[in-house]
């Protein structure tokens, strides 16, 4: 196998491996956010926690409402956001 073919194969393998790595990171971030949320707001009945396109912010479904939580700062946003 020629050098440029090896490089192309390595790049292809990296591209194929990157999405699962990103998914694992997003899942880890979500789980960490959920732990922090439950610790800071133990009475909040959390149904689901989802990642958002905004770094450092997760979407939380609780009590039929959609909230946003920033685990790094402990801020919980709810209501009509613009």
Q: Report the distance separating Cα 53 and Cα 13, nearest Å.
A: 26
Instruction: Determine contact, residues 62/45, Cβ cutoff 8 Å.
Output: yes
Instruction: Determine contact, residues 71/36, Cβ cutoff 8 Å.
Output: yes
Instruction: Determine contact, residues 60/66, Cβ cutoff 8 Å.
Output: yes
Per-residue pLDDT of the chain (82 residues; tens, 9 = 90+): 566 566 654 444 444 444 444 444 667 778 888 899 889 989 989 999 998 888 888 999 998 899 999 988 999 998 887 7
pTM for this model (two decimals) = 0.63
């Amino acid at each position: 196998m020629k050098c440029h073919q090896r490089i192309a194969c390595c790049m292809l393998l990296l591209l194929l491996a990157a999405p699962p790595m990103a998914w694992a990171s997003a899942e880890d971030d979500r789980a960490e956010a959920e732990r922090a949320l439950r610790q800071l707001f133990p009475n909040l009945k959390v149904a689901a926690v989802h990642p958002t396109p905004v770094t450092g912010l997760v979407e939380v479904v609780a009590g039929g409402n959609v909230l946003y939580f920033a685990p790094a700062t402990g801020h919980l946003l709810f209501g009509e956001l613009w």
